[in-house]
Structures are given as C-alpha cells and as structure tokens.
Amino acid sequence: METVKSTITRLFADVDKCDWLQVESTLDDSVLLDYTSMNGGTAQWLTPQQITGAWAAFLPGFDRTHHQISDFEISENKDSSLAHYKGKAEHFIGNEIWVVEGTYDATLRKKNGNWVIAQFKFNFKDQSGNTSLPAIARQRMALARQEQNRATVNKFFVALESQEFELLRTIFAENGQQFNPYAPEGFPRSFDGAEGIYKQYSGLTALFGQMKFPREIFATEDPDFFFVKFKGYIDINAGGRYENDYLGTFRLVEGKIIAYTEYFNQVVMAKAFGIKLT
C-alpha cells in the first residue's frame, strides 16, 4: 500500500514520463486544481482526464521535464491527509532550461484502500532561466497537433480512393457530420454521425468504381481547421467517368473530424447526371 508521500512522488515521476494513465491513477474522481498563484484565474474542480489532457497538451512540447519535491510535512488521519512540500520543476529544450519553484498543498483521501489526491494547490515562488520556453513548447505542440490532424484529413481521401470505408468510422467523431450545401433536391444536406457517414460512402460501390482525388491540403492558423482543394476522377459503373472540382473544409476536435463541408461545381454535376438545377 502506498503512503501519502509515495503517492505524491509517483504523480510527479509519471508526469515526467508523460504516463498520463498512471498520473490519473493518483487522482480522485474530481480534483480541485489551483494554479492561480502563477497563472491567475480561479481554482477549478476537474476530472483526472481533464487535468492530464491539459498537461499532455503542454509538457511534451519540452524535450524533457524533471520535478524535484522535498521537505514534506504530512498530517495524516485514517481516511484523509494534508501534505505540504517544496517543489522545483525543470523544463528543457535543447541546452535551454526554464525553472519554476514554489510549494504545494495537497489534500488526499482514501479510495479503495489507496491514497488519491483530492485537492492540489501550487504556491508560486519564483521562476528562472529562459522564460520564453513555455511559448516555444506550446508552439511545438500546436505544430505537432496540426500535422496529426493533417494526416487524419488525408486519411479521409485515402479511405475513398482505396474503398476502405471502415477507416471513416475511426477518423470521424461519433457525432461528426458532413455538410452538403450544394446538394441537389432529394439528396441529403448532411450525413450525420460516424456510422451514417460510413454507410453513405460504403454504398457508393454500387454506382462507382475507382475514385481518385488529387488534392492540396492547406493548414490555417488554427491547427484544428483545414481547407482542401481537390479534383474528383470517378469511374461510373454504368459507363463513363465523372470529373469535378471541389473545395472542402475540415474541423477537428481531439484528433477526430467533427465537421466536413463539401463544395463542388453544381453545373458540372448536373450535366453529368442529368439533374435539373433549381
């Protein structure tokens, strides 16, 4: 069984390893997190996943981190305890270092026989070294997220070209949508949910053969939003080929496509399929 000190020590060791599941195991179901002495704002009750989500979006932007904690003062009862201790956090990028120092106050309680952290307060004292490193780390993380999201957007087209439509279930959020503002009368203006999008595209094989979409994917200042300019070359099973020009916008949330909007040349589509435009 872990002691109060070993639970707290393990939290910081797992943060340095970026082992977020293990970090979550040291936290209560809801934690009052208070970094107001350093960042301003107000203390917030957060879930373990919300806490590790915030840390995981920032700390891996450094090459490595090293937390040192010491001078524990612990007041322990049967089912709850208070801990006060010193902390020093070193953050490295290349040969540069940013150091933050202060003290912590933590409240822990027993959960299934183990100590978990229920309240976690940092009391900021000082910082030193290269204080521009946090901004660099955030920029690094934004670029990494942008590249991951770009790959997800590209997978949408790979799924269509390879007709591996199961991929669509993995890249769209469960409540994701495709919007079709130029859809002709009688055609749905949206495909709703990852499952609905999968069913819509997997049904295309009855009408179309090989599909190719040469494309350019354009990132924006928002790492979760992309423009895609592409052409469509689609073989029609009944004979002939359908070609059109497209523009798509993609919005992602937590690495999944939440909204895809597709624009195309309506006149070309109408001529190809004998559709009367209104």
pLDDT of residue 275: 74
Q: What's this model's pTM, rounded to 2 decimal places?
A: 0.82
The CATH number given to 146-273 is 3.10.450.50
Is the model's pLDDT at 271 over the cut of 90? no
Four-CA torsion 182, 188, 190, 196, nearest 10 degrees: -140
Domain coordinates in residue numbering, the chain: 4-131, 146-273
What the block records as the tokens of 118 is 């229920």
pLDDT of residue 193: 97
Taking CA atoms, 192 is separated from 180, 200, 239, 249, in Å, by: 11, 10, 30, 16
In tens, the pLDDT along 184-215 reads 877 889 999 999 999 999 998 888 999 999 99
- Residue 184 CB partners (closer than 8 Å, separation 6+): 266, 269, 270, 275, 277
* Long-range CB contacts for residues 155-159, cutoff 8 Å, separation at least 24: 156/250, 156/257, 156/260, 157/213, 157/215, 157/228, 157/230, 159/201
* Of 20, 51, 21, 17, the residue nearest 33 (C-alpha): 51
Where b means 16+ CB within 10 Å and e means fewer, 86-111 reads bbebbbbbeeeebbbebbbebbbeee
Q: What is the mean pLDDT of residues 33-42?
A: 96
3-class DSSP assignment, residue 17: helix
Task: Report the chain's mean pLDDT, rounded to a whole number.
Answer: 95
Give the confidence band of 232 by pLDDT, cuts at 50, 70, 90.
very high
Do 4-131 and 146-273 show the same overall fold? yes
Fold observed for domain 4-131: Nuclear Transport Factor 2; Chain: A, (3.10.450)
pLDDT of residue 278: 66
In tens, the pLDDT along 72-97 reads 999 988 889 999 999 999 999 999 99
Alpha-carbon distance 98 to 38, whole Å?
14
In tens, the pLDDT along 97-156 reads 999 999 999 999 999 989 999 999 999 999 999 999 999 999 999 999 999 999 999 999
Residue 73, strand partner residues:
84
What the block records as the tokens of 244 is 């059109």
What the block records as the tokens of 27 is 């936290």
Angle at 75 between CA 15 and CA 5, to 5 degrees: 30
pLDDT of residue 1: 57
